[in-house]
Amino acid sequence: MSETSVFPVRAEVAENAWCDEAGYFKLYEQSIADPEAFWAEHGKRIHWFKPFTQVKDVNYGPGDVSIKWFADGTTNACYNCVDRHLPAKKDETAIIWEGDSPSEHLHITYGELYENVCRLANAMKARGVKQGDRVTIYMPMIPEAAYAMLACARIGAIHSVVFGGFSPDALAGRIQDCESDCVITADEGLRGGRKVPLKANTDKALESCPGVKTVFVVRRTGGQIGWADGRDVWYHEACAAVSSDCPAEELEAETPLFILYTSGSTGQPKGVLHTTGGYMVYASMTHQYVFDYHDGEVYWCTADVGWVTGHSYIVYGPLANGATTLMFEGVPNYPDSSRFWQVCDKHKVNIFYTAPTAIRALMREGEAPVKATKRDSLRLLGTVGEPINPEAWLWYHHVVGEERCPIVDTWWQTETGGILITPLPGATPLKPGSATRPFFGIRPVIVDSEGKHLEGATEGNLCIADSWPGQMRTVYGDHERFIQTYFSTYPGKYFTGDGCRRDADGYYWITGRVDDVINVSGHRMGTAEVESALVAHGKVAESAVVGYPHDIKGQGIYAYVTLNAGEEPNDELRKELVQWVRKEIGPIASPDLIQWAPGLPKTRSGKIMRRILRKIAENEYGSLGDTSTLADPGVVDELIENRMNRS
């Protein structure tokens, strides 16, 4: 895609939008020139029990890093998402739930949301859950997942949502890390007509989590499950037994709201901690401006609540804005690959936000499943999770949006809490594949490997020079790791881990991770996590995992495996190892390709040369660069000879 192909903002979009191009530049400049004044003003967009007088209190180091926003104000995230809308919207739809099967859907009003959330909050209190306690939510995409998050927020408990596709071991690790003693789950989930054994997985996980005292179980399918008396409680029974009113706690702005585990380049997943006031200001403001949300519109984000996108843009952002947010239990290709668009027609969806991997998978099915639907309610499309290739962008634009709908390609991270680089629909001419310009208050800088600022059109490592209200505050239980991971590579700046190019128009193009994190179907995977799962297998001596280009997933997982002496490499063992990783982490971590490696290329100091392994996995073995520092250059020829990806 040449950089000259620009899709201008259509006049009718700009006229009705919250912000046009001149408005964007004016507000952006204000936000950078005087962040205190800008955020003092926009911080008022949420309800504060006690208004803040302090705005920004940030120290990016050197030494300690501390980030506080609106610190002397008091608020409550749940109050902002629910109670605040009751006077005007008690009978309006807060959540549209679309089941896995097209025959099931529900409309939940703000009034009903209030009652459901209050009941669960009271049921948790009755089981001793209190402010500051960690509650693990392991749920399918059903309204109770949102109730659970909001109920925690209401009483000041910290939720940790664990994606329903994670294995018992991954769940156990996350429960142990934050010492959570309450879990909310369901008997089974339902996705694409298949059952997901959530309660059985929870039971398995809890074998190694003796600290868990309560498990609330939502009855979703009515399937057979195990039961631990005293520990397990039916959700519907517990909620029926308590009052439907529960006060929202008045909480200081920096009260922790949630922990969300995410992969990094080393070690186990980190517990990213977000707090209340700044996060809510930022999630609600970005939801309004980026999706140009107007009252009464139906907004649908297809993410799972197990990821940050589900937190900020299914639950907290939209509900803080009094929106109607659609929650989908199913998958894009069930019962058939028209499903997304059928749901758009059925519920008259105006704004649709999904991942490039879903677009690529649907694109492969051709135009017919899209054309079989009307999609005339759609006016805005969005993407998130990974770079979108221009071909997929153009298909989304032409076929799905019929050239009528602007596309917002939103770049952000679990750590950032909300969208940082993005077009605004009424303000930003679009370039396919570019996340375009920074949101208000965001100062992207591109640096070289020494940390030197690169100006103008350039390429390098993406950092953010100053804080914004939605930024993570720490790694739960390990503040040192927070400083190390994000503020030590380029002191004084937040390092994103992403590579980035800036063009002559000042547009940002994210080029992907520069660390050992791979992005598989928009899901972050630390290569180290997959490696440690592999070496935990009794027959594996050593392993190195890298990403390689994959048509649908963006990146696939390529594992080099060295077996213990005497072990026989064969297809059966290959299948066994794939199953093993699925069991250890979850299906999203399944290696796509496993290559038997008698040896791995190492430096003389024993460091695995991943650069070389990446090249071979990419089938780019002709350009390996300097291999002279290898301890045994011979292993490279062997690996090339037996490479798995010959595309």
Residues that bind ligand 6R9 (CB under 6 A): 262, 307-309, 384-387, 409-414, 435, 496-498, 510, 513, 519, 524
The nearer residue to ligand 6R9, 578 or 589, going by C-beta atoms, is 589
Query: What tokens appear for 547 in the block?
Result: 């990403």
The nearer residue to ligand 6R9, 27 or 290, going by C-beta atoms, is 290
The least CB distance from residue 431 to ligand 6R9, in Å, is 13
Residue 513 CA, chain-centre distance (Å), reads 15
The least CB distance from residue 522 to ligand 6R9, in Å, is 6
Per DSSP bridges, beta strands 56-59 and 66-69 are antiparallel
Per the CB < 8 A criterion, the answer to whether 390 and 338 are in contact is no
The nearer residue to ligand 6R9, 263 or 321, going by C-beta atoms, is 263
Q: Burial of 460 by CB count in 10 Å (0-12 exposed, 13-18 middle, 19+ buried)?
A: buried
The nearer residue to ligand 6R9, 202 or 521, going by C-beta atoms, is 521
Per the CB < 8 A criterion, the answer to whether 452 and 489 are in contact is no
Tell me whether residue 410 is annotated as binding. Answer: yes
Tell me whether residue 265 is annotated as binding. Answer: no
Residue 269 — φ and ψ, nearest 5°?
Answer: -55, 145
Tell me whether residue 540 is annotated as binding. Answer: yes
Distance CA 537, CA 194 (A): 28
SS (H, E, C) 106-132: EEEEHHHHHHHHHHHHHHHHHCCCCCC
Residue 23 — φ and ψ, nearest 5°?
Answer: -60, -40
The least CB distance from residue 413 to ligand 6R9, in Å, is 4
Tell me whether residue 357 is annotated as binding. Answer: no
The least CB distance from residue 301 to ligand 6R9, in Å, is 11
The nearer residue to ligand 6R9, 70 or 261, going by C-beta atoms, is 261
What separation in angstroms does the CA of 522 have from each of 73, 308, 359, 490?
36, 12, 12, 26
The nearer residue to ligand 6R9, 160 or 595, going by C-beta atoms, is 160
DSSP letter for 139, please.
-
Residue 38 CA, chain-centre distance (Å), reads 27
Tell me whether residue 412 is annotated as binding. Answer: yes
The least CB distance from residue 55 to ligand 6R9, in Å, is 26
Tell me whether residue 387 is annotated as binding. Answer: yes
The least CB distance from residue 251 to ligand 6R9, in Å, is 25
The least CB distance from residue 415 to ligand 6R9, in Å, is 7
What residues have CB less than 8 Å from 636, skipping those under 6 apart? 601, 612, 616, 624, 627, 630
The nearer residue to ligand 6R9, 109 or 422, going by C-beta atoms, is 422
The nearer residue to ligand 6R9, 186 or 464, going by C-beta atoms, is 464
The least CB distance from residue 552 to ligand 6R9, in Å, is 16
DSSP letter for 365, please.
T
Tell me whether residue 133 is annotated as binding. Answer: no
Q: Which residues of 597-610 are buried (b: 16+ CB within 10 A; e: fewer)?
A: beebbbeeeeebbb
Tell me whether residue 174 is annotated as binding. Answer: no
Per the CB < 8 A criterion, the answer to whether 449 and 424 are in contact is no
The least CB distance from residue 525 to ligand 6R9, in Å, is 10
3-state helix, strand and coil shares in percent for the chain, rounded to the nearest 5: 35, 25, 40
Distance CA 152, CA 138 (A): 14
Tell me whether residue 524 is annotated as binding. Answer: yes
The nearer residue to ligand 6R9, 276 or 496, going by C-beta atoms, is 496
Tell me whether residue 315 is annotated as binding. Answer: no
Tell me whether residue 80 is annotated as binding. Answer: no
Binding-site residues for Mg(2+), in ranges, read 535, 537, 540
Binding-site residues for ATP, in ranges, read 385-387, 409-414, 498, 513, 524
Binding-site residues for CoA, in ranges, read 191-194, 309, 333, 521, 582
